[in-house]
Amino acid sequence: MKFIVADIGGADVINWLPVAATLAIAATCPFMGYLQDLMGRRNITLVGCSLLLTGTGLVGGARNFGMAVTGMALGGVGAGICELTALAGYVIEYD
């Protein structure tokens, strides 16, 4: 990660990359189960996978540090959705 941050700038605030993803996961998790019940698990999972792929693409093609933090935040939201969906599928399948 140090090589990427050295290339795009922001070496003094490198800690914001994992913090952005963690905060996005923490903000998404409390209401995702309710949204899945409301809109359907499949649709929410597809949105989560799309956000995860978009965030990964943004981080991979980041030209500045703000773009990388935004990509990590989008990836965090997608990861939170996918993580909760996987846990719900596991509990339903093996319950």
User: To 10 degrees, the CA torsion angle through 1, 78, 23, 74?
Assistant: 60
Lowest-pLDDT choice from 27-36, 40-49, 69-78, 80-89: 80-89
pLDDT tens-digit series, residues 52-81: 999 999 999 999 999 999 999 999 999 999
Helix, strand, coil % over all residues of the chain, rounded to 5:
90, 0, 10
